Structure 1
Amino acid sequence: MDPSRPASPQPAVPPAAGPHAGAPRPLLVSAAPGPLQGEVRVPGDKSISHRALMFAALAEGVTRVEGLLEGEDVLRTADAMRALGARVEGLENGSWRVEGRGIGRLQEPADVLDMGNSGTAARLLAGILATHGFTSVMTGDGSLRGRPMRRVTEPLAATGARFASRAGGRLPLCIEGTGEARPVSYRLPVASAQVKSAILLAGLNARGETRVEEPVPTRDHTENMLRHFGAALFVETDAAGGRVIRLQGRPTLSARDVSVPADPSSAAFPLVAALLVPGSEILLRGVGLNPSRTGLFTTLREMGGFLELRDERVEGGEPVGDLLVRAGALRGVDVPAARAPSMIDEYPVLAVACAAAAGTSRLRGLEELRVKESDRLASTVALLERNGAQVRVDGNDMIVEGAGALRGGGTVETRMDHRLAMSAVVLGLAAREPVRVDDTAFIETSFPGFVPLMDSLGADLGREG
């Protein structure tokens, strides 16, 4: 890197800042004092927010983004795109303005790119950086530095980029990008929207056609947004239900405004809480309904949960709608492995619902949970066991013996995992005995304002444990 380059603008969240930099925020969660009631909109979809900033930075012209998730994970992406030369501004009315650089025109960053806790940001950005002819370095917090990156760097190396990392392919990661990238043809060995997206993002600056085969379809926000910004992208479905995505390299992406729907993964937490707390009825407004993200809704309906869609519509190329949720008894469920990609982030809170249901639930094909912010499979098992539930792991399946009620009474180690922390809060709201959550600071990475939002519905949180 050239030390003579001018410094990048100051980031919105300095590397030393953020919820994980200070003392832990414990929380003691007792049963909700009454039914949860009201209408709320959860923050914007995290997956789409990351992509909106990245694609806007790669487009020519000015993109306006509405509904962006302003959690730390996404702010790290905003900082990274600034460091790479795009103009990224948060406006007073909650909108964001991005003046893009165009394909292949990003600049070498003057400093290390700190991605905080965000695996999505790190893996997708690796794809962009791999096909720009400069050297860059990415790091993250303690959790992100423990997560594997080799699943991304191995296919990206076929472009001509070179990578150096810690043992096991872990951050910090040095990327020596190539300005003459080769297109990649790659078949995903495991279902991963992050790996698929990294390869497609690399393919934007490669001459020729980039091709990705996914035997099991994953969330398709990248494909939708590529089309939205004007890329030539084609998707074919094979006889077995898999997909082949083909992208023509070196397109001209043109600035297009983006409206970010409410995040269905964030909606999962008030949704499950409302199903479990007796007498509850809530309306979740403007929730994203992309079919690649609604596996939890399907599963909860199979369990007997009352979920009613209202005012379905399309905003910014993504289907959205309002979701009415009403409390009621749940029954055990057998969730097929093929559904895992459409609800991979929701399994911890689904496991809580299964523990409160009547009968046995089997959640299949959860190997991807082992490489999330924590080993979410092990962490979810510990969450349930410490609060009186019977649960075991059989290979890559989780089996939960539902007791028709939740006992609680345990202390949950969140292990720097925001979704585990929120799942523990949901469990506490429906349990007989209070649940102590060791740290809720990381919730801010994906769901800023989670505790006030839950309190607005009647949860009565906010008591330090």
Structure 2
Amino acid sequence: MELYTEKEAFFNCAFLAALANGTSVIHEVNATPEIESFADYLRNLGAQVNINNNQWEITGTNFKYEKPLNLDWVGNDFPHQKRNRKIIECLLNGEPFNCEEKIPVKDSLIRELSTFGAEVEWKLDGPDESDELAKRFARMQKIKTEKKWVCNIPPVHTLLARDRYIPGDATQAAFLTLAASLTPHTEATIKAVNLDPTRAGIFAAFKKLGADIEVVSRRERGNDVWGDLNVKTAKNLIARKLNPDLLSICLDEIPLLAALACFTESEGIAEKEKETILKLPPWAIDFYRPLLEAIYKNLKIAGVECGIYEEGLIIRGKTDIVGEGFDCQNFPVLGLALSVLNRKAKSKEPVKGIECVEKVYPPLPNR
């Protein structure tokens, strides 16, 4: 199964290529409409962009760009987007950048900077977990020993052109994984999936619920990690509590995770063991509430017991679902999840608003 190129990682790579000295080549680009339109943005910046047979050749400006730059493509809603925007602003102004994060969420811009030759310090800082004596001493002294990720980037004066490859979109791969997991007697291979730990958390979450997923071909080049996934029909999905640390690296795929949770079973007899609990990071609650409410309404249509609480979503799975009239409410990833639930419910009606999905993920020939 073929995937579209990961959009955010591609944007970061192509933008740095447009600032670099020389011609960078990005190979095997399966471009969505958003990616295709990004070529015009790069040309307006002053870069030369040639596209031939899914290969992008970008001749950079060596920081001689047209001012001012529009950074709307970066976004400004999530912590990693705010961090990336600040990194780019420091990059363009020749200023150093420094930050600390508890969880390294979507760090592709930081890794791309390192790939293009910038001096980047991106490391985990904190106590040695294997040092039991130090941990006991810290507890006795009531010293907090939280780990954190530290990023330090000195002023960048030049970037070097590179040959690059950006793996397939993790969200699209998660949709195909969900469909394969819930389809009887199915085995599928999904090619060249982005396995960057800060982007591919959804597969760890799926496996925690009991999905049968195996990385059958893992490849690394420089700062990039990707591979092929072998997915089989899930035979034993188990209700679990998923914590904020895990969900913070798969927030884009929450609707797909909720859809899989609809079919989980209890591992014990206690009431709490019958429920899958999706506990979101505190900073994400307000932003994701409209999406959570849309998920809740659709799961109720399917006859699934669920509820929204102050920290996320609770779902009590069942063997089979029924229902008509699913509505994705213009959330594309929810549309992907509901297309799977719609099929499981044997609904004769299409998902309402499903058109929004094809605007983001139009059909690929081998999809």
The two structures share one fold, judged by TM-score above 0.5: yes
CA deviations 1:156-212 (Å, max 9, x no partner) are xxxxxxxxxxxxxxxxxxxxxxxxxxxxxxxxxxx7221221111112123442112
Instruction: Say whether 1:203 aligns with 2:60.
Output: no
Partners in 1 of 2:346 and 2:285 — Cα distance?
Answer: 28
Q: Retained in 1: the 8 A contact 2:326–2:342?
A: no
Letter paired with 2:98: R
Letter paired with 2:332: H
Q: Retained in 2: the 8 A contact 1:210–1:247?
A: yes
Q: CA deviation at 1:107?
A: 0.7
CA deviations 1:243-285 (Å, max 9, x no partner) are 1111111331011011011111210001011001111110011
Partners in 1 of 2:205 and 2:250 — Cα distance?
Answer: 9
Aligned to 1:106: 65
Q: CA deviation at 1:445?
A: 4.5
Cα 1:357–1:293 shift into 2, 3 Å: same
Pick the aligned partner of 1:253 from 154, 159, 164: 159
Pick the aligned partner of 2:240 from 329, 333, 343: 333
Instruction: Say whether 1:48 aligns with 2:25.
Output: no
Letter paired with 2:66: Q
SS of the residue 2:93 aligns to: coil
Cα 1:302–1:411 shift into 2, 3 Å: closer
Instruction: Say whether 1:421 aligns with 2:335.
Output: yes
Q: Retained in 2: the 8 A contact 1:67–1:259?
A: yes
Partners in 1 of 2:26 and 2:294 — Cα distance?
Answer: 35
| TM-score (structure 1 length as normaliser) | 0.68
CA deviations 1:406-452 (Å, max 9, x no partner) are 3232231332x2212111112123224345322233324442316x6
Partners in 2 of 1:447 and 1:317 — Cα distance?
Answer: 26
Partners in 2 of 1:442 and 1:102 — Cα distance?
Answer: 38
Cα 1:66–1:383 shift into 2, 3 Å: farther
Q: Retained in 2: the 8 A contact 1:219–1:341?
A: no
Instruction: Say whether 1:65 aligns with 2:26.
Output: yes
Aligned to 2:214: 308
> What percent identity do the matched residue pairs reach?
24
Q: Retained in 1: the 8 A contact 2:324–2:348?
A: yes
Aligned to 1:293: 199
* More relative contact order, 1 or 2 (CA 8 Å, 6+ apart): 1
Aligned to 1:361: 276
Letter paired with 1:436: P
Q: Retained in 2: the 8 A contact 1:43–1:448?
A: no
Q: Retained in 2: the 8 A contact 1:44–1:68?
A: yes
Partners in 2 of 1:352 and 1:427 — Cα distance?
Answer: 7
Cα 1:232–1:441 shift into 2, 3 Å: same
Q: Retained in 1: the 8 A contact 2:328–2:338?
A: no
Cα 1:202–1:444 shift into 2, 3 Å: farther
Q: Retained in 2: the 8 A contact 1:123–1:195?
A: no
Cα 1:247–1:213 shift into 2, 3 Å: same
CA deviations 1:280-329 (Å, max 9, x no partner) are 11001111111112222112212121111112111463111111000023
SS of the residue 1:408 aligns to: coil
RMSD: 2.3
Partners in 2 of 1:276 and 1:331 — Cα distance?
Answer: 14
Partners in 1 of 2:298 and 2:164 — Cα distance?
Answer: 37
Q: Retained in 1: the 8 A contact 2:217–2:228?
A: yes
Moved over 4 A (4+): none
Which segment is superposed worse, 359-368 or 223-232?
359-368
Gaps of 5+ in 1: 1-39, 114-120, 127-148, 152-190, 455-465
Cα 1:71–1:375 shift into 2, 3 Å: farther
Aligned to 1:177: none
Instruction: Say whether 1:385 aligns with 2:291.
Output: no
Q: Retained in 1: the 8 A contact 2:7–2:169?
A: yes
Query: What aligned pairs does 1:66-465 form with structure 2 within 5 A after superposition?
Result: 66-91=27-52, 93-103=53-63, 105-108=64-67, 122=72, 124=74, 149=76, 192-239=79-126, 240-315=146-221, 317-328=223-234, 329-358=236-265, 359-365=274-280, 368=284, 370-371=286-287, 375-415=290-330, 417-434=331-348, 436-449=350-363
Q: Retained in 2: the 8 A contact 1:369–1:376?
A: no
Letter paired with 2:315: V
Q: CA deviation at 1:123?
A: 5.1
Q: Retained in 1: the 8 A contact 2:241–2:276?
A: yes
Partners in 1 of 2:85 and 2:111 — Cα distance?
Answer: 15
| TM-score (structure 2 length as normaliser) | 0.85
